[in-house]
């Protein structure tokens, strides 16, 4: 089980990770809304907003770091990155 220390759950580590994930999710939602406003994507179109340098790797939410790609392309990229990083 994650966040275990000496057989006991470490809730402080879990909370810190949850807070970081929530901030990144908010950034991804902001990028999606900006692309919708610019007319690049629409709800239900099957497209993703790809961060060229992922937020989890220190990437930003600037327009220069985002692009519109198909869902398959973005999911394949993420799977490759996870496989490479273990």
Instruction: State pLDDT tens for residues 67-78.
Output: 999 999 999 998
For residue 63, give the 3-state DSSP assignment.
Answer: helix
- Residue 26 burial (10 A CB sphere; 0-12, 13-18, 19+): exposed
Dump pLDDT digits (tens) for 1-25: 566 677 787 777 777 777 888 888 9
Count up the domains in the chain and report the number: 1
* pLDDT higher than 80, residue 62: yes
Dump pLDDT digits (tens) for 27-59: 999 999 999 999 999 999 999 999 999 888 889
Domain extent, residue 30, equals: 4-85
* Residue 56: predicted pLDDT: 82
Q: Where are the alpha helices (DSSP H) in 1-86?
A: 11-37, 71-85
Residue with the larger pLDDT of the pair 60 and 10: 60
């Amino acid at each position: 089980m994650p966040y275990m220390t000496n057989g006991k759950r470490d809730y402080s580590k879990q909370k810190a990770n949850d807070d970081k994930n929530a901030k990144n999710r908010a950034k991804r939602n902001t990028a999606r809304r900006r692309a919708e406003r610019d007319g690049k994507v629409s709800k239900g179109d099957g497209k993703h907003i790809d961060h060229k340098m992922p937020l989890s790797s220190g990437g930003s939410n600037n327009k220069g770091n985002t692009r519109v790609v198909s869902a398959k392309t973005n999911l394949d990229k993420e799977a490759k990155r996870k496989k490479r990083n273990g």
